[in-house]
Structure 1
Amino acid sequence: MMFYTDNITEKVGYDFYCDIAINIVNRRKELGMTQEDLANKTGIKLNRLKRLENVQLRIRLPEIEVLAKALDVTVNNLINEGYDSQVGNCLYLVYIEGHEDLKLYQEAENKRMAFLKMEQHLNNQGLTWFGTPRTRVIVKLVGVPKTKQELQDILPKFKEEQEIEK
């Protein structure tokens, strides 16, 4: 059951991709892998991997998933994100900074994953958030799931023949 209550916001832009690249490079080096080793293990072309590590290209969710598996870490580890709720997925508004007229909803476990999932959805339709390298996307947490116990603590018990109070 989902009830929408919170207002936590994150801006996603160039620095987001820098963070991911740093995490990939650091983990690859921890494992003693070369770029060529990682490219072979993931099936990502070596030239693309080099450009991702140098933040010359935007990394996509499927690539992050493949890299996480090859580097033996979680996707959340690569994107520097935890969980916004231990109960389940949250609901987020995702939109381009300065374009509040186009807000899209995405369910995910955290803000950065909400961004990546929405970006993947747009890319699958031949669209992108990014008109320029300076574009930033806003991700706003708007709903956090509540446990059954939390609801029981707040709401009155249901009665089949409950009368309307006058």
Structure 2
Amino acid sequence: MFFQSEQGLIHKAKQGNKKAWFKLVKQHESVIYHYCLRMLGNQEDAIDLMQEVFLSIYKSLDSFRFDSSFKTWIICIANRRCIEFYRKRKIELHNEEEMDSFIDVQNQNPEQQLQGSQHNQHVIAAMNTLNVEQRSVIELKFFHHYTLEQIGELQNISTNTVKSRFYAALENLKPHLEA
């Protein structure tokens, strides 16, 4: 079955066409996986979360109204799932030392080694020092090229809050990336 556009795939997937759905997943799985990997810093968690994201997308597909790009819509869902992941993890981890050890576990996974250089690993490790709100803003700004205004819309927060998180994140990243 041949589809002319992403919009056609979405319409077909909404009608229950499994081939169209799987083609949409194939087109966007790399974007969602890498988003989750940079947000979580752990390959296994990223794979698990990616599956949850696509399950959420599938369940919500009828609510997609083409008001934004499909990529923007699925990144928004991925962002919400990452925040939920951190909230659940925060409840599971009882003190700050356990949280620090969880964040540090991400060092040297095979996917990162295959993806790029030591620089990429260094950037991901530096991002793992940020809180989830700051990391999310950095991820959306630098890896997905959204404007600060678009990030505010995606996260349902004011542009000033986005700017505050963005500049705080840059300040927090600075010592890690200059080393």
TM-score (normalised: structure 1): 0.31
Specify which structure has the higher proportion of helix.
Answer: 2
Structure number, greater radius of gyration: 1
Specify which structure has the higher proportion of strand.
Answer: 1
TM-score (normalised: structure 2): 0.30
